[in-house]
Structure 1
């Protein structure tokens, strides 16, 4: 990664704002719960907290947005680029009293890692650690993380699920003076966030339940006096970053976007880009709406169609209209859950098969806990668009793909990319700002060779496609 030079930064406008990077030794330590609790605690004090999530993620940002009452966006220097991340942080610093960034996985996992992002923008790190079942060892792990790289500044440790005052004291006494214990949080099931097979449950499904958990987490953090420990956070410097102007490539184009409990994996940055390019957006619900809005193109994003497959299958009028839209040769982009929706059938987690749109040959099958994930570039005829995969299903009996995703670091082919007439479909979730021109072509490329495939029997397990 290239870092800005002194001359670069001196020529840009600067914004100062306290910032904190919340990381951990591994996943499952309580990062999202504590990030949401800090945001809610400071919001109760009348402060504006802008929260970001490291890496590609749709679920955690929904949770954090509700807790902070502010828009939450992903920060990923590979998928979005360093300039885009710098631009977003500079914007946030002009309006926030505090910037929080929740890391992904462990502190040094991935390329770029949470540590890379924190070091690049010189943001102090707080280590969050589930200390259940250990005491002095927690201090040793925290000290090891803090001293592993000399370009990272660790501000302190938050000991999560601490059993008692004695437990807290053992950890604090074992820590070096340079690594203070900022807070020890007692164990509380009333603050745990609800989960399912792809991660946290969507905020829109459990809003009332989340509110009580945010408040409980904020109370726990207030009791531990974490807000006082963060009162003297240093000001971080964030520099203005001009991004290339967005050409009005979609002026006047009406794009329909599926958005409901079944299709909600939508980056706000993607929506904003379409609007900036001049598109008129029309949101609709495949679960509730019987009519397709009057649009020129469709975006069927990812989500949880497997949890609502029966309801989707029974919306016959909308299915008929989407098929007619496809036959008319109008552009459709289908990502992950949207891709499954376009197949002939989807077998849910209870092994019940449901008919889907049938715009392309193939069947989707959920497969429990095993899944595929990772950063990939979609190698499309329109251009390369960066994105990622995260799914726990397989597809079979699909047509021959036109291309495969290019993995970030591994030479093996990534996710299959299909084109059927005007339809582009894949398991990949695309980050539109990585190539606006290519995205504009996706939504404006129509076809007059669109036919609904004939129904075929599913093959055996050997015929199933999946990327590993």
Structure 2
């Protein structure tokens, strides 16, 4: 078994909000950078399925960022990751998802389960004393949730901050008021914020945002908490010697750090490559095309005929290919450019055409249920797939209804579904070895 109990005590806070759009992501990143600049070891986690925020949070903290979610990753893993971080961290920050009580399980559920106080970031723009009513509602909605401090974001003046502070009940204090500042403005697109590597001068922006927080008095550490967990068992080494080539560049970047670490723990050597710029695949037994933004790079993908030929040869040789969301899009025949309507020729591993939709087509946590385990994960896409190919199976939404299509075309497995690999190691081994384990 080789499991053990670990315990750690450190300062910790669950950064949350009444809903999306209150600025908690950049406040979390700025807090991480502020304390990092003060010489502290900061660990940050992201509640729920999200690829983009963790990219910025890693840059802000200088440490790896992992996703944590009571259902997708499981609470045992949540407790273990937090307790492990507490062994060395001076500060742990967990960025919540959506509003404090949104989702099942919610950010509040995790805060209660882990014993971490919730620290709401409330956008104070366009309100005055109502700030106190929102804080009061968040603090009183559940008896088992601890909310003792709040942050006012986007205040317009010292007097505005004073109104927010005076509106609070006696048992809730204002940790700080953050004035409106362009350092907290980060560009976004249809799937969320722009990828960290695409943001010019991101480090300078994070440093500037950290200084704003310091001037607002937000440089104090939150309360200490004690985190305890049992370490997980080591996964079986079912991928021993199976080399996996993983696409990673501006078009394919939606990769959970926990997924690659599981593949390595199962014995797989990993080789990263760029479908946009490389002309050949690494020498590998299997190929993973993760999600990302292929729709923004359709012409480049189409023009790289050498890479297209290499991926087609890999497929024709019967070597496994696993394609998620953006990876699925790239494996179809054509993609309609969202800018000018041009049809780009893609890898053509399966029949179909993809185009961007005017609104989000799917969002939510799902699972792929097989005899080799239940692979949990999520779906989140703005594109539509037209194909004559019938799905080999479907994922299941958490509420039990039918989810995303999963296609099989020779050695290719492709879906809009994003899997969290640690939930089903045997199934993951099957996907990359092409046979039952």
Partner of 1:357: 347
The counterpart of 2:44, out of the listed 42, 45, 51, is 51
CA distance in 1, matches of 2:183, 2:44: 23
Say if 1:361 and 1:398, in contact at 8 Å, map to a contact too: yes
Say if 2:49 and 2:378, in contact at 8 Å, map to a contact too: yes
Give the superposition deviation at 1:402: 1.1
Give the superposition deviation at 1:380: 4.3
Is residue 2:60 matched to residue 1:67? yes
Give the superposition deviation at 1:164: 1.1
CA distance in 2, matches of 1:138, 1:346: 46
The counterpart of 1:38, out of the listed 16, 19, 31, is 31
Q: Match of 1:389, SS?
A: strand
Partner of 1:210: 202
Say if 1:330 and 1:446, in contact at 8 Å, map to a contact too: no
Give 1:241-280 correspondences, 5 Å limit: 241-280=230-269
Give the superposition deviation at 1:66: 0.3
CA distance in 1, matches of 2:385, 2:13: 41
Partner of 1:289: 278
Give the superposition deviation at 1:274: 0.3
Is residue 2:308 matched to residue 1:319? yes
The counterpart of 2:408, out of the listed 419, 424, 431, is 419
Give the superposition deviation at 1:194: 1.3
Distance 1:200 1:433, change over 3 A: same
Is residue 2:113 matched to residue 1:120? yes
CA distance in 2, matches of 1:323, 1:199: 31
The counterpart of 1:226, out of the listed 213, 218, 231, is 218
Say if 2:139 and 2:145, in contact at 8 Å, map to a contact too: yes
Partner of 1:85: 78
Give the superposition deviation at 1:193: 1.2
Q: Match of 2:148, SS?
A: strand
Deviation track 1:192-230 (CA, whole Å, cap 9, x = no partner) reads 111111000000111x431222112111101111113x3
Bigger Cα displacement from structure 2, 129-138 vs 52-61? 129-138
CA distance in 2, matches of 1:304, 1:164: 39
CA distance in 2, matches of 1:412, 1:438: 22
The counterpart of 2:398, out of the listed 408, 412, 417, is 408
The counterpart of 2:289, out of the listed 300, 322, 339, is 300
Bigger Cα displacement from structure 2, 161-170 vs 21-30? 161-170
Q: Match of 1:154, SS?
A: coil
Partner of 1:347: 336
Deviation track 1:144-192 (CA, whole Å, cap 9, x = no partner) reads 0111101110131110010111111111111011110111111112321
CA distance in 2, matches of 1:405, 1:22: 31
Partner of 1:19: 12
Question: TM-score by structure 1 length?
Answer: 0.90
Question: TM-score by structure 2 length?
Answer: 0.97
Q: Match of 2:219, SS?
A: helix
Say if 1:193 and 1:210, in contact at 8 Å, map to a contact too: no
Is residue 2:380 matched to residue 1:390? yes
Deviation track 1:227-264 (CA, whole Å, cap 9, x = no partner) reads 13x3xx33211113121221111111110000000000
CA distance in 2, matches of 1:109, 1:44: 33
Give the superposition deviation at 1:287: 0.4
Deviation track 1:388-436 (CA, whole Å, cap 9, x = no partner) reads 0000000002400011110011x43111011111110000000000011
Q: Match of 1:21, SS?
A: strand
CA distance in 2, matches of 1:160, 1:267: 30
The counterpart of 1:166, out of the listed 159, 184, 197, is 159
The counterpart of 2:429, out of the listed 422, 440, 444, is 440
Partner of 2:136: 143
Deviation track 1:269-310 (CA, whole Å, cap 9, x = no partner) reads 000000000001111100010011110000000000001110
Q: Match of 2:138, SS?
A: helix
Say if 1:256 and 1:293, in contact at 8 Å, map to a contact too: yes
Say if 2:247 and 2:275, in contact at 8 Å, map to a contact too: yes
Give the superposition deviation at 1:67: 0.6
Task: Mark the runs of 5 or more structure 1 residues left unpaired by the alignment.
Answer: 1-10, 448-468
CA distance in 1, matches of 2:6, 2:261: 24
Is residue 2:190 matched to residue 1:197? yes
The counterpart of 2:226, out of the listed 221, 225, 237, is 237
CA distance in 2, matches of 1:171, 1:331: 57
Partner of 1:7: none
Say if 1:380 and 1:403, in contact at 8 Å, map to a contact too: no
CA distance in 2, matches of 1:245, 1:44: 35
Q: Match of 1:160, SS?
A: strand
- Equivalent pairs counted in the alignment come to 432
Task: Mark the runs of 5 or more structure 2 residues left unpaired by the alignment.
Answer: none
